[in-house]
Amino acid sequence: MEDREREQRLHHEAKTLLEQGQVDYIIGYETGSLKFTTTPLITKDEDDTDRLVVNPFIVNNLSVYLTEVKGKAGIVAKGCDSRSIVSLIQDNKIAREDIVIMGIPCPGLIDLKKVELLLGKDRDELDNITREGDKVMITVDGKEKDFPTTEVLFDNCLGCEFPTPQEYDVLLGEPSFSITDKVASRARIKELEAVSQGKRWNFWREEFSRCIRCYACRNVCPACFCQRCFVEETEPLWLMPVPRWQDNLMFQVVRNIHVAGRCTDCGECERVCPMNIPLRSLTRKMYELVDEMFQYQAGMDKNAPPLLTAYEPTEAEDFMR
C-alpha cells in the first residue's frame, strides 16, 4: 500500500476512534518542522487527525508516551514499537484494553545520518528523498542519485526480524517484508567482538568520555519506565550526576541490564544521542545475548512473564560454582 493511501486510512481510523469515544488520545506522527522529519502528535482533537502522516521518517517509538497519557490511547505503531507496547503490557505498565494499536507494517526507516555521510551534505541541504522498494532516490542540487535501500536504512532496521506489528487492532496495509542486511546490521558489534577485552573497554571508555549525560537515551526509551531512575538516587549515591566517563559508562551498563528483555532494538537511544555514541552496539548485543541464553525475544507475547521475572529450573548453570 502506498504511504498516501495508508495515511488516508489512518486519518479515518483515528478520527473514528476519537469520535466514537473509544480512545481519549491519538498518538501518531505529523510532519516535523524541519526537512525529512516527523514529530509525535498527541492529541484529543478529531480535527488534528488529518495531520497524521506515514513515511520513511517516522522514527520515534511512540510507546514511550503510553505510560504518561491519562486514559485510553490510540497509537500508531511500527513493528518494533508494537513489541515495546507488548513489553509494557507484560510489565503491567499499561493494560491492553486501554490501547488501540494502529499497526504499520514497516519497510524500514531512512537514517539521515547515513544519508548525510553518503552525500557529504547535511539533511537540510538535500532537496528530496523518496523510496521505491530496494531503491532510494535522493535529489541534491537538482540532481537525482539512486542508492540501494540497504545503504540508507537504520542499522536496526537492517536487522529487523518483525517489521509487521506483532500486536494490533488495525493493520494499515499488508504485512511487509523489510529489506534487511543482517551482516551490515551488526557489523560494528562484530568489529568489537573481534578485538581484545582491553581494547573493547578502551573503546567504550573513549565513547563515554563524550557523553554529556542529557539522558535522552533513557527518556526516549519505552523500556526505561522507572518513575525514579537509580542515577537520581542519593542514598546511596550509586553514581555521580557528573558527566565523567566512569559514571557515564556505569550508567549505560546498568541501564542496559535493567532493560534486558524489554529492549526491542528500536534503535531510538542511538538515534537521539547528540554525541553519536554507538549505543545500539550495546542494546543489540544485549538483545542477542538474551535470545541466545534464554531464547527470549522482547515483546512477542503479551501473556508471557517478563524475562527477568521468569526462570527455568535448569538454565545458564555453566558459570555457577
Partner 1 sequence: MEQEVEWEPKLLGFLCRWCSYAGADLAGISRKKYPANIAVIKVPCSGRVDPLFIIKALRLGFDGVLVSGCYPGDCHYQTGNYHARRRLAITKKFLEYMGVEPQRIQASWVSASEGGKFTKVVSEVTKELKEVGTNQLFADGR
Partner 2 sequence: MTVTDISQRGRFLANGNVYLPHIVIIEKVVDETYDTRTFHFNFKDEKLRKEFTFQSGQFALYSIFGAGEAPFAISSSPTRRSHLECTVHQVGKLTNALHRLGIGAEIGFRGPYGNGFPMGFLQGKNLAFVAGGIGLSPLRSLIWNVIDNRDNYEKIDIIYGARSPADLCFKYDLDTWSKDKGINMVTTVDKGDESWTGRVGFVPQVLEQAAPSPSNAVAIVCGPPIMIRFTFPVLEKLGFTPEQMITTLEKRMKCGIGKCGRCNIGNIYVCRDGPVFTYAQIKSLVSSEY
Partner 3 sequence: MLKNKKISKRAIGNLLNEWSQEFTVFVPSRERGVAVLSKWDGKDTSFTGWYRNTAQPAKANFFPPAEKMFSFQKDKEGYHVELPSSDEHKQLIFGIRPCDARALIILDMTFKDLYEDPYYLPKRNNMVLIGLGCTNPYDSCFCTSLGINPGESTDVDLMLTDIGDQFLIEEITEVGKELIAKASQVEEATEADEAEAREVKKASYNKVTGKVDTEGIKEKLLSCFEDQDFWEKVSAKCISCGICTFLCPTCYCFDINDELVRRQGTRFRSWDSCAFPVYTKMPMENPRLEKWRRVRQKVCHKFEFYPMNFDIIACVGCGRCIRQCPVNWDITQTLNSLPTRV
Residue in 9, 11, 35, 96 binding partner 3, rule: CB under 8 A? 35
Q: How far apart are CA 135 and CA 88, in angstroms?
A: 35
Q: Which residues pair with 30 in a beta bridge?
A: 39, 52
| Site membership for partner 3, residue 64 (CB under 8 A) | yes
**247 Cβ contact partners less than 8 Å away, ≥ 6 residues apart:** 213, 239, 240, 241
Residue in 198, 227, 242, 295 binding partner 1, rule: CB under 8 A? 198
Residue 320: other Cβ atoms inside 10 A: 5
Q: Which is nearer to partner 3, 120 or 142 (CB)?
A: 120
| Site membership for partner 1, residue 229 (CB under 8 A) | no
Q: Which is nearer to partner 1, 33 or 309 (CB)?
A: 309
Smallest Cα–Cα separation from 267: which of 251, 252, 287?
Answer: 287
Written as one string, the DSSP assignment of 8-75 is HHHHHHHHHHHHTTS-SEEEEEEE-SSTT-EEEEEES-GGGGGGB--STT----GGGGTTTS-S-EEE
Residue in 8, 46, 65, 288 binding partner 3, rule: CB under 8 A? 65
Q: Which is nearer to partner 3, 241 or 305 (CB)?
A: 241
Grid cell 568489529 in the structure block, residue: 191
For residue 236, is the peptide bond before it cis, meaning its omega torsion is within 30 degrees of 0?
Answer: yes
Binding partner of residue 235 among partner 1, partner 3, partner 2, none, CB under 5 to 8 Å per kind?
partner 2
| Site membership for partner 2, residue 242 (CB under 8 A) | no
Q: How many CA atoms lie within 13 A of 34 on its CB side?
A: 8
| Site membership for partner 3, residue 268 (CB under 8 A) | yes
Residue in 16, 200, 215, 258 binding partner 3, rule: CB under 8 A? 215
* Interaction site with partner 3 (CB under 8 A): 32-35, 37-42, 60, 64-65, 113, 117, 120, 122, 124-125, 207, 210, 212-216, 218-220, 232, 240-244, 268, 271-272, 274-277
* Interaction site with partner 2 (CB under 8 A): 234-235, 237
